[in-house]
Amino acid sequence: MLPSVEPTVSVSLAPQTPQTPQTPQTPKGQDQAENPADRDFAAEAETVAVWKVDQDVVVNTAPANDPDDDALGRRIRRKVDLRLCTIAGILCSLNLLDSGVLSSAAVTSMLSDLGLDHGNRFSVSIFIFTISSIVFQLPSTIAVRILGPRVWFSAITLAFGIITLCTGFVRTWQQMIVLRILLGAAMSGIFPGLAYLISTWYPRREQQLRFAFMQSGEVLVLATGSLVNYALNRLDGRGGLEGWRWMFVVQGLCTALIGLATYWWMVDFPENSHHSFRFLTADEAAVVSKRIESDRGDLVAQEFELKKVLVHAKDFKIWAFASLFFMQNIVSTALAYFVPIILQNGLGYSANASIILSAPPYYYAVVPVLASSWFADRLQIRAPIIVFNAVCLITGFCVLGFASNSGARYFGVFLATGAYVANWAALTAYQANNVVGQWKRVFTAAACTMFNGAGGIAGSFIVRNFEAPTYTTAVWVSIGSHIVMISVVAALSVHFYRANMSQSKRAGVLENTAGFRFTY
């Protein structure tokens, strides 16, 4: 269930004399407005909530009415959806765009041209990228908060595009490895940074559908990228470049241009959103802030100190969330990088047909991710949706691994792809709904993405060409990982249920926020 934060809470941690609400007191360590524009915004937001701070417990006494129930609130929400979710979907697609380019190029002459067809060199080129990404994820996610989304996302996207462009001109597998390391560093902050940014903009009850919007844009770009790769591969020999080089050159150039546009397209955090290019006014930003305060009361970030970020490593549930992403990405990496190879070696399709046929499963994935996320937000549930998607994925891999008909096995690819894409949104909402505090959100997003990357390392090795056409290892590891995922979600849900019941009976405090309830 997705319980709401109790909107009006009266907690007395020290004797107090009843009085009319005063100007909100900023929690310990949080930043104050530094310039006149921020001070004006602070004045606009004075009616958001009354904060009382004692012994590091934050009490949210925001008014019970929901500011998104009126026409103004709905209009602002649509404006945020159109601006933030579109650019988030495009930028997040760059993570999968790389896997799409590399997997499409893998069924052309690239492996032999660069010597990647010897031993495990191709798998090494995948996991070395992941290692680099893991190392830089926490610093890069922190940078989103410190430097601001517009500056940071624009810079790393531009770098990502330039590196992808350069990949089209490498001559040896060693050069490819070097660029893969740089690419991993550049891309490290995209997914955790975007997941963190979106979580700061929406109340918990609306988050999964917004993550689904982001995922939909991601998979649509990936699917279209497969068709573009097919067309670019037909340019083989033009300008003295092989077809696979054209894939990297063209998509790298497009990514670099997107990076430049990101500076104006991306939005800042809610409390600074009126400074974004042609976005919200100060009045509209105050409405958004009121919604966040009413939901969980963690609008403003504390002043940055590394220990304030790392202290959250003591929370066991963060690592439980991270383990879910590990198991998820074992499967998603195997499918994202190896579907064309499976279609070619396992199902007997030609190289060009394999590139084209890898696109439809991603177009289909938009349906389950939007449908399941809509139901999750509407019914205010999280764990049952994750379990349902996991069961669908297990079914898909059973069909892919054990059916004898090629058409049936291709249907298994559809089912598995739709399920894992849908679970990205579900898992991201699950973790974002159950943590409070800006730096805790940063740490959780980075930790989940690091484990996600570790799952990618495992996933890059489970698809073994010598096991074609059944790919037994990939099938059983994928099935087993999602059985474990169901078990972890069940255990977390029991813990959250008991914590919520204990809080109700004993008037305890969860996540240092009075009135907060866990999501399950």
pLDDT at 321: 95
Whether the per-residue pLDDT at 389 is higher than 60: the answer is yes
Contacts of 232-235 with CB under 8 Å at 24 or more apart are: 233/104, 233/108, 233/351, 233/352, 233/355
Whether the per-residue pLDDT at 133 is higher than 50: the answer is yes
Whether the per-residue pLDDT at 443 is higher than 70: the answer is yes
- Which amino acid makes up residue 133? S
Whether the per-residue pLDDT at 266 is higher than 90: the answer is yes
Q: What is the DSSP string of 245-288?
A: HHHHHHHHHHHHHHHHHHHHHS---GGGGGGSTT---HHHHHHH
pLDDT at 35: 41
pLDDT at 374: 94
Q: Which residues contact 127 (CB under 8 A, 6 or more apart)?
A: 456, 457, 460, 461
- Which amino acid makes up residue 485? M
- Token pair of 435 as six digits: 């943590």
pLDDT at 39: 38
Residue 237 DSSP class: T
Dihedral pair phi/psi, residue 323, rounded to 5°: -65, -30
Distance CA 301, CA 439 (A): 7
Do 100 and 164 meet the contact criterion of CB atoms below 8 Å apart? no
Distance CA 101, CA 68 (A): 41
Better pLDDT: 381 or 101? 381
Which of 258, 273, 303 is closest to 164 using CA atoms?
Answer: 258
pLDDT at 65: 46
Whether the per-residue pLDDT at 319 is higher than 90: the answer is yes
pLDDT at 393: 93
pLDDT at 337: 58
Which pLDDT tens digit goes with each residue over 41-78?
344 443 333 333 333 444 343 344 444 456 777 888 89
Confidence of residue 126 (pLDDT cuts 50, 70, 90): confident
Measuring CA to CA, how many Å separate 315 from each of 139, 440, 493? Answer: 20, 10, 16
Confidence of residue 210 (pLDDT cuts 50, 70, 90): very high
Whether the per-residue pLDDT at 4 is higher than 50: the answer is no
**What's the whole-number mean pLDDT along residues 476-484?**
92
Express the helix, strand and coil content of the chain in percent, nearest 5 each: 75, 0, 25
Classify residue 30 as exposed, middle or buried by CB count within 10 Å of its CB (0-12, 13-18, 19+). Answer: middle
pLDDT at 55: 34
pLDDT-wise least confident of 125-134, 347-356, 472-481: 347-356
**What's the whole-number mean pLDDT along residues 290-305?**
75
Distance CA 296, CA 89 (A): 25
pLDDT at 40: 43
pLDDT at 176: 92
Whether the per-residue pLDDT at 489 is higher than 60: the answer is yes
Considering only the C-alpha atoms of the chain, give the largest distance between any 2 of them, rounded to a whole number of Å. 81
Whether the per-residue pLDDT at 15 is higher than 50: the answer is no
Pairing state between β 57-60 and 51-54: antiparallel
Question: Cα 218–186–202 angle (5° rounding)?
Answer: 45
Work out the mean pLDDT of the chain and round it to a whole number.
80
pLDDT at 151: 94
Classify residue 439 as exposed, middle or buried by CB count within 10 Å of its CB (0-12, 13-18, 19+). Answer: buried
Whether the per-residue pLDDT at 510 is higher than 70: the answer is yes
* Tokens 């994935």 -> residue: 365
Q: Is the peptide bond before 27 cis (omega within 30 degrees of 0)?
A: no
Do 475 and 397 meet the contact criterion of CB atoms below 8 Å apart? yes
Whether the per-residue pLDDT at 437 is higher than 60: the answer is yes
Dihedral pair phi/psi, residue 87, rounded to 5°: -70, -35
Strand partners, 54: 57
Measuring CA to CA, how many Å separate 478 from each of 338, 364, 463? Answer: 14, 20, 10
